[in-house]
Amino acid sequence: MKEFKSFYKEVGGNEGGKCRYNTRLDLYGCGCQHDCSYCYAKSLLDFRGLWDAKEPAAADLKKVARKIDRLTPGSIVRLGGMTDCFQPMENINHITRETIKLLNARGVGYLIVTKSDLICEYMHILDKALAHVQVSTTWIPTEKAVSTERRIKAVETLQKAGFDVAVRLSPYIPQFVDFARLNAIQCEKIIVEFLRVNHWIRKWLPLDYSEYTVHHAGYDHLPLEKKIEYLSRVTGFDEVSVCEDVTEHFDYWREAVNHNKDDCCNLRK
């Protein structure tokens, strides 16, 4: 098993300045078995020869434990920023499972963003006072993760069991979304994140990019009026938030849309 040596990061810059949970603990790295065509992490690493989707590297649990020991109880760390901590190799390595146990013991909260329903097999170790889960739900045909329907079932299972869970429509590409199914999901919360595009994503994901006319922080984005139009199609949730990269758009969502103006992830605490 290859060791992933650089697994802990406090994200800065444009993203870190907007994200309330910018402390990231990646348990798998230098690749992700989901290998999504729209993945910003892949677009940053692949051309440098640092992306291996077949055999990502895994973090050393002893090093993870030492890092967790230095985290402040009551704080929240995001499990995975560059890769999915519940990608298929977790079935073999169990690094995420053991990390969750360590975080529980330390009293450190954890925000999990995943495209996998494997998380439901870990419900017995998730601490409801510490665990926050966002299940990424899309209908993009090129995805290699488990089916959208399985992810929806995972969301509804966690919601019914009383966990702090949200649908994460990410990336939101309206051309692919089954809106009838999306708006019928039995979950109180949704986080929407629109696609951001660079040269590599244009190359890997066939799409009409003519509407992506706003350039910000190295990516092309939809203009705000288009985002507002497309967000209006998301109607089935009590609490809506938008995860945003463009500064002016971020300010608009915070004041006009987000359920919690101080926390666009809208976590229960």
Each residue's pLDDT expressed in tens, for the chain with a length of 269 residues: 565 566 777 776 666 678 899 888 989 877 776 766 676 666 676 666 666 767 888 899 999 999 999 999 999 999 977 789 999 999 999 999 999 999 999 999 999 999 999 999 999 999 999 999 999 999 998 888 999 999 999 999 999 999 999 999 999 999 999 999 999 999 999 999 999 998 888 989 999 999 999 999 999 999 999 999 999 999 999 999 999 999 999 999 999 999 999 999 999 98
Chain segment 178-209, per-residue pLDDT in tens? 999 999 999 999 999 999 998 888 989 999 99
Q: What is the pLDDT of residue 29?
A: 77
What's the pLDDT at 83? Answer: 86
Quick one: pLDDT at residue 42?
Answer: 63
> CA–CA separation, 207 vs 195, rounded Å?
11
Q: H or E stretch including 28?
A: strand 28-29
Spatial CA neighbour of 156 closest among 188, 128, 130, 178: 188
Supply the pLDDT for residue 123: 98
CA distance 6 to 85: 15
What's the predicted TM-score (pTM) here?
Answer: 0.92
What integer best gives the mean pLDDT of the chain? 91
Residue length of the chain: 269
Which class does domain 8-256 fall in?
A: alpha beta
pLDDT, position 130? 98
The token pair that represents 29 in the structure block: 């790295």
pLDDT recorded at residue 30 = 73
Residue 152's φ and ψ, nearest 5 degrees, are -60, -40
Domain ranges of the chain: 8-256
Whose CA is closest to 33, among 7, 54, 48? 54
Report CA Rg, the chain. 18
Calpha distance 261→239 (Å, rounded): 12
- The confidence score (pLDDT) of residue 72 equals 94
Please, are residues 71 and 77 in contact by the beta-carbon 8 Å criterion? Answer: yes
pLDDT, tens digit (0-9, with 9 covering 90-100), for 201-211:
898 999 999 99
Give 175: exposed, middle or buried? Use CB within 10 Å, 0-12, 13-18, 19+: exposed
